[in-house]
A and B are shown apart, each in its own frame.
Chain A
Amino acid sequence: MACSEERPRLSNAIFTRLRALLGTSGVDRDARGLARANPDTSDALSLVCRLAHEEGWKIRVEGRGTWLPPDAPADLVVSTVALEQIVSVSPADLVATVQAGASLEALRRRLADYGMWLAVDPPGRPERSIGSVIATATAGPLRHGFGPVRDHVLGCTVATGDGRLVNAGGRVVKNVAGYDLTKLQVGGFGGFGIIADVHLRLRALPRADVTLVARGPRDVLTSAARDLVSVHLLPSALELLSPALAAESEWVLAARFLGTDAAVQADVRRLGSFGDQKWQPLPADRTAAFWSVAARGSLGGPITLRLGVLGDGVDETIDLLSHDLDEGLISAGAGLGMIRWTGDAPIEQLRSLRRAAAAREIPMTLERAPWPVRRALGHFGAYREGVGQLVGRLRDTFDPGQCLTVALEGADNA
Chain B
Amino acid sequence: MNSFLFDALARIVGSRWVKHRRGELATYSMDGLPTHEAIPGVVVMPGSPHEVRELVRLLHLIQVPFVARGAGTGLSGGALAEEDAVLITLTRLNRILRVDGVRRRASVEPGVVNARLSEAVAPLGLQYVPDPSSQAACTIGGNVAENAGGPHCLKYGVTTNHIVSLEVVLPDGSVTRLGSEQGEPWGPDLVGLFVGSEGMFGIATEITVRLEQMPESVRTMLADFTTVRAASEAVSSIISAGIVPAALEMMDQACVAAVEASIYAAGYPTDAAAVLLVELDGQSEAVGGEAQTVENILLESGARAVRSASALGDRARLWQGRKKAFGAMGRIAPDLAVQDAVVPRSALPGIMDRIEEIRKQYRLTISNVFHAGDGNLHPNISFDRRDPATAARVQLACRDIMAACVAAGGSITGEHGVGSDKLDYMPWIFDAETLGAMRAVRRVFDPAERANPGKVVPVHACREWHAVKSARA
Contact B283 A365 (CB under 8 A): no
Chain B residues lying within 8 Å of A92, measured Cβ to Cβ, are: 236, 239-240, 344-346
Q: Is the CB of A206 within 8 A of B242?
A: yes
- Whether B444 lies near A172 (C-beta < 8 A) is no
Bitwise interface map of B from 359 to 383 toward A, beta carbon under 8 Å scored 1, else 0 = 0000000000001001110000000
B31 at the interface (CB under 8 A from A): no
The verdict on A192 contacting chain B, using a C-beta distance below 8 Å, is yes
Binds A, one of B182-190, B258-266, B297-305: B182-190
Q: Are A187 and B188 in contact (CB under 8 A)?
A: yes
How many residues in A have their beta carbons less than 8 Å from beta carbons of B? 92
Is B189 touching A184 in the complex (CB atoms < 8 A)? yes
Q: Which of A22-30, A124-132, A323-331, A391-399 contacts B (4 or more CB under 8 A)?
A: A391-399
Q: Is A204 an interface residue (CB 8 A)?
A: yes
Complex contact B467–A312 (CB within 8 A)? no
- A172 with B429, Cβ < 8 A, contacts A92-B236, A260-B286 known: no
How many A-B pairs fall under 8 Å by CB? 278
Which chain A positions have C-beta within 8 A of B186?
363, 380, 382-384, 387
| Cα–Cα, bound, A391→B186 (Å) | 11
| Chain B, range 422-473, C-beta contacts under 8 Å to A | 422, 426, 429-431, 433-438, 440-445, 456-457, 465-470, 472-473
B20-37 to A contact mask, C-beta < 8 Å, 1/0 = 000000000000000000
Rounded to whole angstroms, the CA-CA distance of A160 and B463 in the bound complex is: 14
Given known A-B contacts A263-B282, A337-B182, A388 and B465 have beta carbons under 8 A apart: no
Question: In the bound complex, do residue A179 and residue B197 qualify as a contact, i.e. CB atoms below 8 Å apart?
Answer: yes
Q: Which residues of B contact A207 (CB under 8 A)?
A: 242
> How would you classify the secondary structure of chain B's contact residues: helix, strand, loop or mixed?
loop
Question: A392 and B472 in contact (CB under 8 A), knowing A362-B182, A363-B180, A387-B178?
Answer: yes
Segment 193-248 of B: residues with Cβ below 8 Å from A: 193, 195-197, 200-201, 213, 215-216, 236, 239-242, 244
A171–B409 CB distance below 8 A: yes
Complex CA gap A408/B188 in Å reads: 9
One digit per residue, 1 when the CB lies within 8 angstroms of any chain B CB and 0 when it does not, for chain A 177-190 equals: 11111111011100
**Cβ contacts under 8 Å, B146 to chain A:** 176
Q: Give Cα A363–Cα B345 distance, bound, in whole angstroms.
A: 38
Q: Is B387 an interface residue (CB 8 A)?
A: no
Residues of B contacting A398 in the complex (Cβ-Cβ under 8 angstroms):
437
Asked if B106 is at the interface (CB within 8 A of a chain A CB), the reply is no
Binds A, one of B42-50, B157-165, B269-277, B320-328: B157-165
Q: Is the CB of B184 within 8 A of A396?
A: no
Cβ-defined contact, B189 with A187, below 8 A: yes
Given A92-B240, A394-B441, A397-B465, answer yes or no on A170-B429 (Cβ-Cβ < 8 Å). yes
Knowing A184-B193, A396-B473, say if A179 contacts B431 (CB, 8 Å): no
**Chain A residue at minimum C-beta to C-beta distance from B187:** A380
Contacts A147-B161, A179-B456, A312-B102 given; indicate if A363 touches B413 (C-beta within 8 A): no
A396 touches B289 (CB 8 A): no
Which of chain A's residues have a CB closer than 8 A to the CB of B102? 312
Do A310 and B344 form a contact, CB below 8 Å, given A166-B433, A179-B197, A263-B283?
no
Report the Cα distance A187→B193, complex, angstroms. 12
Interface hit among B65-73, B169-177, B390-398? B169-177
User: Judging by beta carbons under 8 Å apart, are B153 and A174 in contact?
Assistant: yes
Interface centre among A168, A179, A338, A387 (most CB of B within 10 A): A179
Say whether, besides A176-B415, A308-B184, A385 and B283 are in contact (CB < 8 Å): no
Task: Find residues 144-198 in chain A having any chain B CB closer than 8 Å to their own CB.
Answer: 147-148, 150-151, 160, 164-168, 170-184, 186-188, 191-192
In the complex the two chains form, is A172's CB within 8 Å of B410's CB? yes
Q: Which listed residue, A93, A230, A270, touches B344 by the CB 8 Å rule?
A: A93
**A239 to B281, alpha carbons, bound, how many Å?**
24
In the assembled complex, how far is the CB of residue B425 from the closest CB belonging to chain A, in whole angstroms? 8
Residues of B within 8 A of A35 (CB): none
User: Chain A contacts of B345 at CB under 8 A?
Assistant: 92-94, 173
A65 within 8 A of B: no
Please determine whether A176 and B417 come into contact, CB atoms closer than 8 angstroms: yes
Contact B344 A172 (CB under 8 A): yes
Q: Which of B187, B433, B438 contacts A178 (CB 8 A)?
A: B438
| A263 engages B286 (CB within 8 Å) | yes
Residues of A within 8 A of B213 (CB): 230, 232
Q: Enumerate chain A residues within 8 angstroms of B472, measured Cβ to Cβ.
A: 392, 395-396, 402, 414
A177, B441: Cβ atoms under 8 Å? no
Min distance, Cβ B76 to any Cβ of chain A, angstroms: 9
Q: Mark out the residues of chain A between 305 and 358 whose CB falls within 8 Å of any chain B CB in the assembled complex.
A: 306-313, 337-338
Does B114 interact with chain A (Cβ within 8 Å)? no
- Write the nearest CB–CB distance from B187 to chain A, whole angstroms: 4
- The answer for the CA separation of A151 and B210 in the assembled complex, in Å, is 15
Contact partners of B286 in chain A: CB under 8 A: 259-260, 262-263, 266
Q: How far is the CB of B97 from chain A (nearest CB, A)?
A: 16
Does B152 reach chain A (CB closer than 8 Å)? no
Task: Establish whether residues B170 and A386, one from each chain, have CB atoms under 8 Å apart when the complex forms.
Answer: yes
B9 part of interface (Cβ distance < 8 Å): no
Q: How far is the CA of A307 from the CA of B286 in the complex (A)?
A: 34
A394 touches B188 (CB 8 A): yes
CA distance A127 to B146 in the complex (A): 38
Interface: B135 (CB within 8 A) = no
The reply to whether B161 and A385 form a contact with Cβ atoms under 8 Å apart is: no
* A218 located at the interface, meaning its Cβ lies under 8 Å from any Cβ of chain B in the complex: no
Residue B149, interface by CB 8 Å: yes
User: Could you say which residues of chain A place their CB within 8 Å of the CB of B187?
Assistant: 363, 380, 383, 387, 391, 408-409
Contact check, A365 vs B414: say whether CB atoms are below 8 A apart.
Answer: no
Task: Please name all residues of chain A whose beta carbon is closer than 8 Å to the beta carbon of B178 when the two chains form the complex.
Answer: 384, 387
A–B pairs, 19, beta carbons within 8 Å: A92-B346, A95-B344, A176-B158, A179-B438, A180-B192, A181-B437, A181-B438, A181-B441, A203-B244, A232-B216, A232-B283, A260-B242, A260-B290, A312-B102, A337-B183, A386-B176, A393-B444, A397-B441, A408-B187
Please give 18 more A-B residue pairs, beta carbons under 8 A apart, in addition to A174-B158, A363-B182.
A90-B346, A170-B411, A172-B344, A172-B410, A174-B149, A174-B371, A176-B413, A178-B418, A178-B426, A179-B197, A181-B193, A207-B242, A233-B283, A308-B185, A384-B176, A395-B472, A396-B467, A400-B467
List residues of A whose CB falls within 8 A of some B CB. Answer: 90-95, 115, 137, 147-148, 150-151, 160, 164-168, 170-184, 186-188, 191-192, 203-207, 230, 232-234, 259-260, 262-263, 265-267, 270, 306-313, 337-338, 361-363, 365, 380, 382-398, 400, 402, 408-409, 414
